[in-house]
A and B are shown apart, each in its own frame.
Chain A
């Protein structure tokens, strides 16, 4: 099979929609166009039936009951609804929230907003492998803590947090537990019962579904979680999320969840094989390559590595027929290196040198081989150019050099 360029290897940013999902969605744009809230005619019933089927498909992916799924416009909204909804609803009980420094901005910025509104937020540091320290979590809990929000798996470094242990601690203390499962859902098994999750965010476009649709799982029993709605309107979604339902999007999300559910075991085996092949090739050909994130608790399709002494943007420039991401400051809008990598404490220099590979359903072995060879080639070229690599080879301890920071 011949390669098609550019090669997409950035599936933590978004995924190509599965054509089967597209097929499932199409009738709901032009033929079955009813408003799912129209209770008095067939157009509405058909739309509602499709939505309820999707609700069950989403619930099945995470071991939930269909009634516990609230459809949203995406995971940013799900995260906002979970955090603000709980904070406002349980404000009388307490005003303290615990999250982690490596969370997605949809969590961190929502927490910042809540701080302005008078809530207290603890941002737990993570260990050098990206995992939260459970003792630190215990220590952070106060009698005012109402919510712990820790992501299931990280979008940059792919580490899977000890969700069951975290939920156990939350349960002991009677604190609600929310998890942003955007990167994990559909990729690794999740069960809200076994995992002890009270609230969970999902996004459609990260699991081969459409953009602009997501879901929030809201536990109904043991305990029954209540949320303050963030938009007023028709009282859709049991009053938690008003707004006419995005029927085609919801159908797509449902179909995408069902496909992931069916194919997860096989797909994750295939992707972890390809990911390991990529990693092994890079390590075989290059020295001074560092893995970011604990590889024993890791998404099967993620690889985040730092190529020491090579700056990330210049590396991306050399592999411009491959779509990947870098934690380098130069590639970010803020001109700051990745805060996730900084939180690992490895030093900003390794953040500048990092590349995130996100494999996916459509990644082929030929692509992995091509990308590995290309990266190796460009890293070698750039190291020829790198004064740091030269100093390293001369045995200079770079941490002892007096740099002229600017």
Chain B
């Protein structure tokens, strides 16, 4: 299969590879996929509690080149966005940016799922800190 230049670029120079501290209350972790399906993505965001802006994002992916590229691109896009802006990222935007062929669309879906899972994890932590009904300053 021929890969687009952008997929090759992300594969050869993946951005923001690594892990953030899962236990940090400002870090949300999303892990999606399954080893027997051939792809697992771990995507993490770190939200600045003052500004509500994602100031760091990291990923690790087990999967094909397109899966690696999709998650690498996602971390690039997440940085500097608010949580709500991040939630608006659509897999179709990833498909367009990386010129993914139809058989690789599921890689972009997985990246979107990973973003959503990371945000859900972050929000769950936030809620724990500020239980429902509590008044936030």
Contacts and interface: CB of A to CB of B under 8 A. Distances in A.
Nearest to B106: A406
A317 B60 contact: no
Interface string B48-70: 00000000000011111101100
Interface in B90-131: 103, 106, 109-110, 113, 117
Main secondary structure of the interface of A (DSSP, over half): helix
Nearest to B61: A385
A390 interface: yes
Contacts of A180: none
Contact of A406 (B3, B33, B60, B68): B33
Interface in B38-52: 38-42
Contacts of A309: 62
A317 B38 contact: no
Contacts of B40: 387-388, 403
A77 interface: no
Nearest to A388: B62
B36 to A, nearest CB: 4
Given A328-B38, A335-B103, A387 B32 contact: no
A314 B11 contact: yes
B11 A317 contact: yes
Interface in A353-387: 384-387
B19 A390 contact: yes
A329 B37 CA distance: 8
Contact of B62 (A310, A329, A404): A310
Contact of A404 (B11, B34, B38, B60): B34
A71 to B, nearest CB: 36
B22 to A, nearest CB: 11
Contacts of A317: 3, 11, 64-65
Given A314-B11, A317-B3, A390-B19, A349 B63 contact: no
A310 B63 CA distance: 7
B60 A347 contact: no
A314 B60 contact: no
B116 to A, nearest CB: 11
Contacts of A388: 35, 40, 62
A248 interface: no
A403 B42 CA distance: 12
Nearest to B11: A317
A347 B37 CA distance: 10
A398 interface: yes
A314 B38 CA distance: 11
A404 B63 CA distance: 15
Contact of B63 (A311, A335, A348): A311
A3 interface: no
B31 interface: yes
A225 to B, nearest CB: 43
A406 B110 contact: yes
A284 to B, nearest CB: 24
A323 interface: no
B137 to A, nearest CB: 36
A330 B68 contact: no
B38 A406 contact: no
B62 A386 contact: yes
5 contacts: A403-B35, A404-B117, A405-B33, A405-B36, A406-B34
Interface of B: 3, 11, 14, 17, 19, 31-42, 60-65, 67-68, 103, 106, 109-110, 113, 117
Interface of A: 309-311, 313-314, 317-318, 328-330, 335, 337, 347-349, 352, 384-390, 398, 403-406
6 nearest interchain CB pairs? A403-B34, A348-B36, A349-B35, A387-B42, A387-B60, A313-B64
